[in-house]
Amino acid sequence: MQFDRLRLNGFKSFVDPTELVIRRGLTGVVGPNGCGKSNLLEALRWVMGENRPTAMRGEGMEDVIFAGTTRRPARGHAEVGLAIDNSARLAPVGFNDSDALEITRRITRDAGSAYRINGREVRARDVQMLFADASTGSQSPALVRQGQISELINAKPKSRRRVLEEAAGIGGLYQRRHEAELKLNGAEQNLARVDDTLDQLSTQAAALARQARTAARYREIGAALRVAESALLYRRWADARAALDQAQVTLAADARAAL
């Protein structure tokens, strides 16, 4: 991966817009102590997705913003841009339609960081994976910060293995595997939730089936009851009608007898 240009604005000691052109071959930055050479490396790590304040020699990530001096006021934000040659089309799908990529990271006080690739807002994870696929990134052993050599000498075997894996260019594969494992775990959790939901729905379906059978039986009993009540009322009406007819016949007979 060929870096072409590093732009800084408000990042640590680079309060004014500054551009570092990185030519092919060897580019050297020389100067006295305290002139900001280490800040250039930290800016490079920061725009590549570094999220550890300690790696930026600060207590919080907002410490990368120019804090001000007796002559100049503090800035409210910091921004670093990195231009990359993508003529070989080695960027991930979705960012591979241009010969050049410009990754920009901007941090604002009390608002956090925002990333952009060629002007399009992206996630920090997208930027980290872009560099991981190119076997580099903020944790690359090619970026040697102050004190890192002694840390490597005193490192545990696991840490040394990570350095060798980064140097071998398989760091991106591990991150891709980690993402795939997270997705698989998420899918398994979703399936478990689906099974729980199905069990709950089965219980509800069984209860509803019992209620449906009870309702059907109620309707059957209600219909039979209405038929029985109708028959009873008809029988009572018929009996009353017969009694009335009999009474009328008796009255008629009594009347003829009286005459």
Strand-strand pairing, 2-9 and 112-117: unpaired
Query: Are 39 and 27 spatial neighbours (Cβ–Cβ below 8 Å)?
Result: no
State the pLDDT at residue 213: 93
Higher pLDDT, 14 or 161: 14
State the pLDDT at residue 65: 93
| pLDDT 10s digits, 77-126 | 999 999 998 888 877 777 888 888 999 999 998 888 999 999 899 998 88
pLDDT confidence of 233, banded at 50, 70, 90? very high
Instruction: State the virtual CA torsion across 210, 211, 213, 214 in degrees, nearest 10.
Output: 120
Q: How far apart are CA 10 and CA 178, in angstroms?
A: 35
The pTM is what?
A: 0.62
State the pLDDT at residue 135: 66
Tell me the CA distances in angstroms from 230 to 116, 151, 217, one per residue in order. 82, 99, 20
pLDDT > 90: percent of the chain:
39
Domains located in the chain, CATH noted: 2-138 (3.40.50.300)
| pLDDT 10s digits, 188-219 | 999 999 999 999 999 999 999 999 999 999 99
